[in-house]
Structure 1
Amino acid sequence: MSQNIFIIVCIIFVGLLIIAEYRAAKRLDSGFLKWVAKPAASLAFVLVALTGGALDTTYGCWILIGLVFCLLGDVFLIPTGARTFLAGMGAFAIGHLAYVGAFLSTGPEISGLFLIGSAGMAGFAILALRWLWPNLAEFKWPVTVYSAIIAIMVATSFLAAPGQSSAPNWVVIAGALGFAISDIAVSRDKFITHQFFNKSWGLPLYFGAQLLLASSV
């Protein structure tokens, strides 16, 4: 089947997921719809990678592993408990590390773009932690470790050159950056203020970023 079919499926289920989150914000029952829509949207981006030939290259296999762990993270984040949130963070952290493996598998060379990206992501992680720190409570150190991992993931995306190109792949970079920025919405919703606004932009950005990474195989 074509990648485009699963991209469309993902978009449809993301739309349903946003409806579910809106209904939840209005204190209407949306639990069943959320449990259907979110895993389905996540499975769709895994299928985008599979139908794109992820199993044919080392880069693609690493991306596929990352996508599968992100699917698990998405499922863990559907409940609201602290333990499932930590489990979700752990799954996403492994997913980010798999993406790092993918980006480094293309035989990269250190470049000025990578150094600039690394410095920018270090600053981004520090500012995000300063913003969240007073509200993190028992999550201080898990969030610190997670922030470092996602900063490394985005920085190494500037080295990724899958396929025959030796130049940085801007689809990959956009996917990595989109993923990192979408985590701001998750953090704001969990630690600052719980509201539909966070989901309204964070979810489309997250799934769009995953589709970019999945399509890069």
Structure 2
Amino acid sequence: MLSLTVLVAVLTAADAVADWACVWFGRRRIHYLTKPLVMVGLIALTLLVGDGERAAWWLVVALFFGMLGDISMIGSSPRRFLGGVALFFVGHLAYAATFLALGLDARTWSWAGFAVAVVLAIPMGRVLRGARQMGGPPMAVALAAYALVIATMLVLGWLTGSVWIAVGALVFVVSDTLIGLNLAEHGNAPPRLTNVQIMVTYHVGQALITAGVLLALV
């Protein structure tokens, strides 16, 4: 079992690096395959190590909806982008359920998550204006709701007391913040989702969260 787990972890990491290279070199068609495969690898790791724990099953749900969100955002239409936002919204709710299932540890340093959430909310005005330009009030409302749920995920992640989860949640939010700033700059079209910085922070964030949850369960 250990050797299989190590093999899956290595293959997942290799796929992530390959995806970043595809983004760097503009290999979009391969990127559309390698990006969701990272989520498949993380799901496999969770099933191998999670031992059927409730938090592990919630983590599988979160990763699964992240994978669906990746697939939904293939293409460049506002409709597909909004569909991806909805899928990631569910995924973040599942992450929140994962952290609650692990249990919250209200250490003093953990409450810094609230401060981080406030700081990352500063550019939201620009993001919502860009969303309104792209898809009108419905898009702006959808992104406002998404911002609320991801902020909740971030705070709960910090309150687990796990450094792995706290850092992973922060890096994941940084990735979404980069997408939001991209949207603010190009509000008349869906944001470019193939920046290397966005992909690296996206994958690293989810990998750290997964590692933190699994380490808490073993």
Kindly tell me: are residues 89 and 112 of structure 1, through their superposed partners in 2, closer, same or farther at Cα, counting changes over 3 Å? Answer: same
Alpha-carbon distance in structure 2 between the residues aligned to 1:151 and 1:58: 23
Q: Would the aligned equivalents of 1:97 and 1:153 in 2 still touch at CA under 8 Å? A: yes
2:47 paired residue number: 50
User: Shift of residue 82 of structure 1?
Assistant: 0.9
Kindly tell me: are residues 178 and 89 of structure 1, through their superposed partners in 2, closer, same or farther at Cα, counting changes over 3 Å? Answer: same
1:155 paired residue number: 155
**RMSD across aligned C-alpha pairs, in angstroms?**
2.2
Kindly tell me: are residues 39 and 109 of structure 1, through their superposed partners in 2, closer, same or farther at Cα, counting changes over 3 Å? Answer: closer
Give percent identity, aligned residues only: 21
Kindly tell me: are residues 22 and 123 of structure 1, through their superposed partners in 2, closer, same or farther at Cα, counting changes over 3 Å? Answer: closer
Of the structure 1 ranges 73-82 and 127-136, higher mean CA displacement relative to structure 2 is found in 127-136
> Match for 1:83 among 74, 79, 94?
79
Correspondence list, 1:130-209, <5 A: 130-137=125-132, 138=136, 139-160=139-160, 168-193=161-186, 199-209=195-205
Alpha-carbon distance in structure 2 between the residues aligned to 1:18 and 1:189: 18
Kindly tell me: are residues 31 and 195 of structure 1, through their superposed partners in 2, closer, same or farther at Cα, counting changes over 3 Å? Answer: closer
Kindly tell me: are residues 19 and 158 of structure 1, through their superposed partners in 2, closer, same or farther at Cα, counting changes over 3 Å? Answer: closer
Q: Would the aligned equivalents of 1:60 and 1:102 in 2 still touch at CA under 8 Å? A: yes
Kindly tell me: are residues 114 and 199 of structure 1, through their superposed partners in 2, closer, same or farther at Cα, counting changes over 3 Å? Answer: same
| CA displacement 1:134-191 (0-9 Å, x = unmatched) | 322122111111111110000011222xxxxxxx111111111111011122223344
TM-score, normalised with respect to structure 2: 0.82
Q: Would the aligned equivalents of 1:14 and 1:41 in 2 still touch at CA under 8 Å? A: yes
User: Tell me, which stretches of 5 or more residues in structure 2 are unaligned?
Assistant: none
Q: Would the aligned equivalents of 1:16 and 1:33 in 2 still touch at CA under 8 Å? A: no
Kindly tell me: are residues 199 and 7 of structure 1, through their superposed partners in 2, closer, same or farther at Cα, counting changes over 3 Å? Answer: farther
User: Tell me, which stretches of 5 or more residues in structure 1 are unaligned?
Assistant: 25-29, 161-167
Alpha-carbon distance in structure 1 between the residues aligned to 2:147 and 2:166: 17
TM-score, normalised with respect to structure 1: 0.83
Give 4+ residue runs of structure 1 displaced > 6 Å after superposition.
none
Alpha-carbon distance in structure 2 between the residues aligned to 1:78 and 1:189: 17
- Counterpart secondary structure, 2:123: helix
2:19 alignment partner AA: L
